[in-house]
A and B are shown apart, each in its own frame.
Chain A
């Protein structure tokens, strides 16, 4: 019975079906199943299946994103129950994400957020046009391991440096890793502003983030 439920959970992730995933999570709670088991034996199996299919070139990015969103929906349902039981999902790290001030380009950053949270990071996405102070405040508030900064314009890319400098000033530079991204970001730029990591796409961003928290 439980085995069957776990299989359905995995399938809901493979299908990218948020509603089914949330529904199955509720069923698990009603049946008294440990929410951590539901995640690890049920839903994560689906994420792994999609991830493996992607690695083989058989699945594509939209399928990864939809699996990620279904996973998020399931976890959202299970979280209160975990709290009640005093357990928590093992996280790879906490990430604060933002598109820098003066820049409204959203999609790359959002995609990185989806991929990171599907991979086991806790993601705090502050949206677009976010000033450095706000990013720092959030990072301190949630005790972030990583700050991720996106910029699409060469004129706003400089704000990535400002955030790094602000971190430095507050003595947080060693504690919080900074990864940057966006079309104009090059390795040369990353070295110049002394960022800790960068990636040219969302899949690579997960690998970079894992490396930065020592989980790779």
Chain B
């Protein structure tokens, strides 16, 4: 049985981090950067497309310089709303600016083992288990590849990963781990097989692709070619910038937004020039680099501000946004993880980012924790509740109940209370027990979260993929593996 999906919709909260004028300034600065500094597109196919549309292309450096009107006109072709489809159509996700959906984070390299708690290298089995747990979890709307299937051959790893997720969940799959044309071609073939053909896949994209930019102002050739292939097939595609203050971007927040925006906007324009109307999304996970080590650090006030600012840019271009939140640098589920994941998710949700990535990873998206995944879902539930705001009407003003109770007394036995008490948030992983009970039992929220993950995995059976489809997916992977050795 498939679970219903929890999303934020019709919010009452509003947050404006950038005024419309400031967004326009960032846009103008972005166009200036694309025209003067340029953006690197190290792919012959990409460079040919730019050249055919009159952009200036430096063949030696692969740097493209394009004028503002070309970029703006291309971006206008992008659809404002579309759905990420699921094997179970009741789990389709409408990206229309009025929903916030959460995915699993990616792509980790280690897992805190659910039975032993020990940290170990991630494998395909982990991808499958996490997908199955996410399938049963209402807060998770779609999947990223949560950890790398390091026991699979590198040349087909990305394909084994999406197969494992489809076999263990009916929800939408977005992969951030396929970044070359050969694997993308096979992945699209796999998605088409499940959708019932290429034309059906275009109508119901069961797969979407996320590509990372190479900040500052660059892209990876394989990523560009994978993205072009996806755009051609009508598979939703996004480019993610992770420009970081100090290292891959300027020290100032506005400047870093410009660098990241130039990367995303230029690549998105490329897809629209090649395939006008292709479904695309904006993706971002900017942060400040650590002043001492230079390391990318998820979390921190800069990260939270980017979370709220980037949707203003995506809205300006009228395309959906996939926003990095839950990006804690904490090494284990602890107060740092709680603070960072709560604030980043609140800020990115308050502006209605369409997709939030994602739950479950620690240490800058490296270490998977089942407990953290469950607690991240609770953070989202809290934010979900906050976003509903306060409803003010005759019923909620509760004058009848107030006058019935009068001064003194209590509201516990009021019918009004009975009608509305289930609107009060009930946490799963917050400790509200009496002190003595806490002291006597010793366990805490982290144990409850792990316990929930264990119980769910012990019992939850997703709607299976039929064995024939599984076999066909395996055959596609097999032949993609052979191709890689040609």
Contacts and interface: CB of A to CB of B under 8 A. Distances in A.
B286 to A, nearest CB: 15
B109 A202 contact: no
Given A186-B109, A188-B120, A62 B154 contact: no
B291 A60 contact: yes
Contacts of A201: 293-295
Contacts of A61: 246, 289-294
A200 B295 contact: yes
A185 B366 CA distance: 10
Contact of A104 (B148, B157, B214, B364): B214
A154 B154 contact: yes
Interface in A20-49: none
A80 interface: no
Contacts of B366: 183-184
Contacts of B214: 104-106
A172 interface: no
A186 B364 contact: no
A166 interface: no
Contacts of B248: 107
A158 interface: yes
Nearest to A192: B121
A183 B329 CA distance: 13
A155 B246 contact: no
Given A62-B246, A200-B293, A202-B294, 9 more contacts: A61-B293, A62-B251, A107-B247, A107-B248, A155-B157, A183-B364, A183-B366, A186-B110, A203-B292
A212 to B, nearest CB: 20
Nearest to A102: B222
A82 interface: no
Interface string A69-108: 0000000000000000000000000000000000011111
A5 interface: no
A186 B119 CA distance: 11
B220 interface: yes
Interface string B89-125: 0000000000000000001011000000000110000
Interface string B136-156: 000000000000101000110
Interface of B: 42, 107, 109-110, 120-121, 148, 150, 154-155, 157-158, 179, 214, 218, 220-221, 246-248, 251, 289-296, 364, 366
Contacts of B121: 186, 188-189
**Closest 9 A/B residue pairs (Cβ):** A201-B293, A155-B154, A154-B148, A60-B291, A184-B109, A61-B294, A104-B220, A107-B247, A158-B154
B426 to A, nearest CB: 38
B292 A60 contact: yes
Interface in A47-65: 54, 57, 60-62
Given A62-B246, A188-B120, A189-B121, A154 B109 contact: yes
A136 to B, nearest CB: 21
B288 to A, nearest CB: 12
Contacts of B148: 154, 184
Give the most central of A62, A155, A156: most B CB within 10 Å.
Answer: A155
A126 interface: no
Contacts of B120: 188
Contacts of A106: 214
A111 interface: yes
Contacts of A200: 293, 295
19 contacts: A54-B292, A60-B291, A61-B246, A61-B289, A61-B290, A61-B293, A104-B42, A104-B214, A107-B294, A108-B294, A153-B179, A154-B150, A154-B154, A154-B157, A183-B296, A188-B121, A200-B293, A201-B295, A203-B293
A57 B290 CA distance: 13
Nearest to B110: A186
A106 B157 CA distance: 23
B110 A202 contact: no
Interface string A130-157: 0000000000000000000000011110
A56 B293 CA distance: 14
A158 B42 CA distance: 23
A196 to B, nearest CB: 20
Nearest to A153: B179
Nearest to B150: A154
Contacts of B220: 104
Interface in A154-200: 154-156, 158, 183-184, 186, 188-189, 200
Give the most central of A54, A61, A108, A202: most B CB within 10 Å.
Answer: A61
B96 to A, nearest CB: 33
Contacts of A153: 179
Contacts of B218: 104
A184 B291 CA distance: 21
A158 B109 CA distance: 13
Nearest to A112: B294
A62 B251 CA distance: 10
Nearest to A159: B154
A204 to B, nearest CB: 8
Contacts of A189: 121
Contacts of A203: 292-293
A200 B294 CA distance: 10
A152 B365 CA distance: 13
Contacts of B295: 200-201
Given A104-B42, A186-B121, A189-B121, A202 B293 contact: yes
B294 A111 contact: yes
Give the most central of A104, A111, A189, A201: most B CB within 10 Å.
Answer: A104
Nearest to A115: B294
A133 to B, nearest CB: 19
A54 B296 CA distance: 19
Nearest to B214: A104
Give the most central of B251, B291, B296: most A CB within 10 Å.
Answer: B291
A153 B221 CA distance: 15
Contacts of A62: 246, 251, 291
Contacts of B251: 62
A192 to B, nearest CB: 8
A57 to B, nearest CB: 8
Contacts of B364: 183
A173 to B, nearest CB: 23
B15 to A, nearest CB: 31
